[in-house]
Copies of this chain bind each other. A is one copy, B any other.
């Protein structure tokens, strides 16, 4: 079993590099809040355990197994964030710190129950994709509701404004993270938009729409 520290290294390798970008010892050290020397030591250990591929002065990347473990931690982190946000009324910016701790709880049953309790959410309160139980994680393109095409269906994944008046208005309109929305119309005159949410159509201002982050459910479909 992995230590919390090892899990954190894997998670950060995943979050920073994510298959694509290059990650260096310094950069990773900065993310983790430790010194480059410590990262170096740990990389040797993780290489030994076959969780990262890495040669002296060379590229750092996760192995298949390392990625699997990292995704599991990310899954737990994002499920807990969603739980804290939607069940315990934590705000958007409070969830991260506590989820950093909760992500290390070891219990497959707990994670499954959490997922079920939250009704298998697709996005966390930051609008990031929550990997499913199989570790699958569809790549998505986030945008603001303002940018969405009329007639398209989308899912609300986050807010950009965390002020009380905005959040109150959001919930007043029946909007919430992981809710399905449809853009019914956009008025050329003043940019007001009509949005269908929970079978009701509401009208919102462009300014409001700009603070709602969504992913398009119709975009990029085959």
Which chain A residues have a beta carbon within 8 Å of chain B's beta carbons?
Answer: 84, 87-90, 94, 97-98, 101-102, 104-107, 109-110, 113-114, 117
Contact = CB atoms under 8 A, between A and B. Distances in A.
A88 B110 contact: yes
A97 B110 CA distance: 11
B109 A90 contact: yes
A104 to B, nearest CB: 8
A88 B104 CA distance: 18
Chain A contact residues: helix, strand, loop or mixed: helix
A107 B94 CA distance: 10
11 contacts: A87-B117, A88-B109, A88-B113, A88-B114, A89-B113, A90-B109, A98-B110, A101-B106, A101-B107, A102-B102, A102-B105
A105 B113 contact: no
A206 to B, nearest CB: 35
Given A84-B110, A110-B84, A98 B105 contact: yes
A110 B97 CA distance: 11
Listed from nearest, the 7 A-B pairs whose CB atoms lie closest are A88-B113, A98-B107, A101-B105, A98-B110, A102-B105, A101-B106, A88-B117
A104 B104 CA distance: 11
A98 B98 CA distance: 17
Q: Report which residue of A89, A90, A107, A114 has the largest number of chain B beta carbons within 10 angstroms of its beta carbon.
A: A107
Contacts of A97: 107
A95 to B, nearest CB: 10
A84 B111 CA distance: 11
